């Protein structure tokens, strides 16, 4: 299994590797926000539960996008641009604090890298 992942990952450009790492960072960040929100802010209302479900969904979506980008398919590149763009726009929908600034910087950087890096077909790796 590890050899298969290594083979898929070796044909990527540096920009794509950075984007994949950024998508993984986003996924982990959103999933870690769930317990943080539950501990510090949640009042147990239906809105709190909804927000935690949305955070988890966003974390799962970023995980799937990272996995798709490792495979190097154009569809995953397009979906990544769309999802990161949506997250960038949604950053402005409520109060703007330090966490929103971090999300804005990360999503903005990822979007720039996704677009500037463009889609390049993955090179085939020969194994002996």
User: Between residues 109 and 118, which one has the greater pLDDT?
Assistant: 109
Number of domains in the chain: 1
Region of 108 (left: φ > 0; alpha: ψ -120 to 50; beta: rest) is: alpha
Domain-located, residue 7: no
User: What residue numbers bound the domain in which 78 lies?
Assistant: 13-117
Give the pLDDT confidence of 11-69 residue by residue, as tens digits.
Answer: 678 888 899 999 999 999 999 988 888 887 777 788 888 888 999 999 999 999 999 99
Domain-located, residue 123: no
Domain-located, residue 55: yes
Domain-located, residue 8: no
Distance (Å, whole) CA 72 – CA 53: 29
pTM score, whole prediction: 0.78
Domain-located, residue 1: no
Domain-located, residue 125: no
């Amino acid at each position: 299994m590890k050899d298969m992942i290594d083979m898929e990952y070796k044909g990527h450009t540096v920009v794509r590797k950075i984007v994949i790492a950024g998508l993984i960072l986003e996924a982990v960040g959103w999933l870690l926000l769930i317990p943080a929100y539950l501990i510090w802010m949640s009042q147990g209302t239906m809105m709190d539960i909804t927000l935690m479900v949305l955070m988890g969904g966003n974390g799962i979506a970023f995980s799937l996008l990272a996995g798709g980008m490792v495979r190097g398919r154009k569809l995953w590149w397009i979906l990544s641009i769309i999802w990161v763009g949506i997250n960038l726009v949604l950053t402005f929908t409520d109060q703007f604090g330090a966490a929103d600034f971090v999300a804005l910087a990360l999503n903005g950087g990822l979007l720039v890298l996704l677009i500037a890096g463009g889609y390049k077909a993955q090179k085939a790796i020969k194994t002996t």
